[in-house]
Amino acid sequence: MQASKILTIAALTLMSSIALAGLVQPAPVDVDLVNQAALGDMYTARTADEDNVFIGCGVRNIDDGAGGILNYGFCQAEDAEGDHVFCSTYNSALVDAIASTSDYAFLTFRWADDGAGNLECTYVGSSTQSFYLPKK
């Protein structure tokens, strides 16, 4: 019990010192067209000086016309250099990963050409755990 109190106090002390240090969100959006990967912090993208910088994923539920629902996921990003990507997927595991992201997530996604000229999302990862604070 005493050890958990000490750890809690240490964690709170660390968090308050970080807040005073003025750290900001660390990850601007980066779209790597060669390695087919995009990453970035969604909060940083929303507060970027460049209007065209963004990153995000979403899910659409589409009536299939036969009484069922298709779950369709997509991710898109554009960085400060103007590199842009949009990928989509019907893969249920990826759609679930997309659905679990939050407005303040650090987001990573990868894609591959599906052979018909469309980009298929192949990986989606996000993290909502960060001790960095938004720049005020």
- How far is Cα 53 from Cα 110, in angstroms, rounded to an integer? 18
Q: Using CA of residue 110, residue 71, residue 57, residue 125, what is the dihedral sign?
A: negative
pLDDT of residue 76: 96
What is the pLDDT tens value at each position of the chain, 136 positions in all?
555 444 344 444 444 444 444 445 567 899 999 999 999 988 777 777 878 899 999 999 988 899 888 899 999 999 999 999 999 999 999 999 999 887 778 899 999 998 998 999 999 998 876 545 555 5
pLDDT of residue 123: 96
CA distances 21 to 17, 29, 39, 106, Å, are 6, 23, 25, 21
Q: What is the pTM of this model?
A: 0.72
pLDDT of residue 26: 60
The residue ranges of every structural domain in the chain are 26-127
19 by DSSP, 3-state: which?
A: helix
pLDDT of residue 132: 52
pLDDT of residue 22: 47
